[in-house]
Structure 1
Amino acid sequence: MKIEKVICSKGRTGFYFDDQKAIKAGAKNDGAAYIGEPMTPGFTSIRMAGEAISVQLVLSDGQIALGDCAAVQYSGAGGRDPLFLAEDFIPYIQEVVAPHLIGRELTSFKELAGEINSMTDPKTGKRIHTAIRYGVTQAILDAVAKSKHTIMAEVIAEEYGCKVSDKELPIFTQSGDNRYENADKMILKGAQVLPHALINHVETKLGKNGEKLLEYVKWLHDRIIALRKDESYQPVLHIDVYGTMGIAFDNDLEKIADYMKTLCDAAAPFHLRIEGPVDVGDRTKQMEALRDLTAICDKKNIPVEIVADEWCNTLEDIIYFADNKAGHMIQIKTPDLGGMNDIAEAVLYCKKKGIGAYQGGTCNETDRSAQVCVQVAMATQPDQILAKPGMGVDEGYMIVYNEMQRVLAYEEAMKK
């Protein structure tokens, strides 16, 4: 089976591109938009409609394999590639990437995806944009699965020496700014990990002394108990604070640890994860800060799990953070890694090192990228996967949950 043609089209994502630097600097909400001037290169406004590029690979037997190129909500921040706009990159894919695909035999996902994921721009010598590597390798995985007449999860399991899960993986749902009503939706649907909460501003969301987040955790604790059907529902509380604890407490790790202990007490008996407690603006310094904060929490027996995110973008970054125990869990933010091959490798490496593997992503991707991510996750079995795209809860949870159930049903049927 060969690839005969590469077709690209502009797509929309499930959310927006947001200028994180401007938001952290205090940009104000204006309905669904933000007021103020953008601060990150490439942005023409603080919030821009999210864009994707759908890639279709036409195979020699007429089948069509699909993948979607997409980038994270906070593009251009935390060491990431710049803003990804379809009109800029469709011609690039056709001129630079497509010639490497057309005519290729679909014998190995790992081999062809590895080649595309390591491609460099012929003019700059830099690796091609992560979003391109992300979407094209999704399509390659689908193409190899179609050539073998199986599902994508089985291709990953075969090529990476793992086994497709026979049970559900915990799904992590994200609320956006609608952190109260959306938390209700999560509880009603029985989401195993919630609510993300988008705590990305000190004064309005964390509180100058952390009081606003503490109040929210207390509310969340009470709300779960009020709405759950029975005590068997014990979701993990996973809250992303975007470095705001570091801002509020002047990056004093002891104070941050003590504050997280207060949050743990408020959350109990529900387990607490805090993502991105600090953001010190540099890869090495970020690793060191999370390493030291993790050690402090462990020494004090604070029952919190610290989740690494910012400045931990690539497979190399994830290996670096995992080797240094910079966090109890690492977000494998799928569009930031690029190739689906690196995503599989990252999950398996974290598991090997005894570090929690959170196969994440962004609200700003598509239904297709979410489906392919589920297929990879069902083979590599991370500790949790993100419901995506969007911030509406219902839609992203549905897409991820349903794809996971398809894999489980397929595996069960094939056993018979």
Structure 2
Amino acid sequence: MIKRLSVKLHDTLARSIPERRVFLRSDADTRFIRVGPVAQVVAGGGAMTIVAWAIFATSILVMDSFGAGPYRDQTRRDLQTYEARLNALAHERDARAREARTAQDRFSSALERISAMQSDLLESERRRRELETGIEVIQATLRRTMIEREAATRKAERLAGRRDGDSATARGNGEAEERDGTVEFLAAALEDTAQARDRTAADAQAAADRAEDIAHELRLLRERNDDIFRQLEEAVAVSVEPLDAMFRKAGLDADRLLDTVRGAYSGQGGPSLPASLSTRGDATLTPEAQRAGRILGRLDELNLYRLAAEKTPFARPVEGGVRLTSGYGMRWGRMHKGTDFAGAHGTPILATADGVVSHAGWLSGYGRVVKIKHAFGIETRYAHMSRIRVKQGQRVSRGDRIGDMGNTGRSTGTHLHYEVRVDEKAINPMTYIKAAKNVF
């Protein structure tokens, strides 16, 4: 049946499409290939199919080019706007970094000035004590001189009374001569006493004048000390308040951190820290010494804040031409536990606080990663590095270069993935970076 239909189809096609022969000639022989009607129909159909597909594909490309042109222009404009915004943010970030460096310089200058003023304060306190001691000595000398002068006056009066009695009752030439000698002796003694009295009075007046000068100088010294105290109190307040606010903005308990640092740095002493200056309100101390003690206590608190800040990741992990590409939070249905900074391959990566390297090597999706243990249960992580420049167990300081930016691990481009963890719990790193804004 099928063969009969095939023969009938071939006969029908042969009437309208005759058989063709394709001759193949060589130097020694000539051959031909028969191309039947069915083969011609199949070949023609294939050629028409190819031509139709070419026309269809060309029309689709032409229509796509006409329709996608405005969309590409809009995309290009959006990209340019986005790049302009990123450049503006980069300029703003650089400006804030310069402001932070300027603020840090001012803070360092303030600390130097506070140190100098503290030295002046201690020197003025020493001079005040010397002046008080000198006044006490002069007052004691003046009292002793007045007592001696009064005793000499009373003695002279008694001798004068004896001389008059002896003159009235004297008898005989021998007694008269003896009384005359006694009178001459008494007169000389009275004259010496009068001269001593005059010298004592002059010395007492000079001592009184000197005491008045010392009292005036002491008043001036106290006024100067009060001005120094006031400047120190203002400088300490201006320095401590931003640091306290920085820790509280970062969600940290400043009092607990200071207690921790104070426990680690509990040693005291030295020639510049008198034992008499205390912040406990000792009633035996002068008001100036108590005030100085309170200022020294605030300076100690400022130093503790500085030590705590060095151990807390307030600094940025990268500087220069980088941009923030992804923040902390949900991303593509998953929790992104850090902040991404994109930059050039090999950009230096810096430690954000003092600490000890707990891991330096390859770690799953992190690629080349460095982990640093800091104080207060804080850990920072720096992932996707192209090169690691520290070793496990190494102690690093804030600002030390620990590696280079790269694209290792699960990463779609060159960037740094930066994490901050407190007691193994990830928190937003920008909380610390923003808290330190305009402080460092």
Shorter-chain TM-score range: under 0.3
Q: Which protein shows a greater Rg?
A: 2
Greater RCO (CA < 8 Å, at least 6 residues apart): 1
TM-score, reference length from structure 2: 0.17
TM-score, reference length from structure 1: 0.17
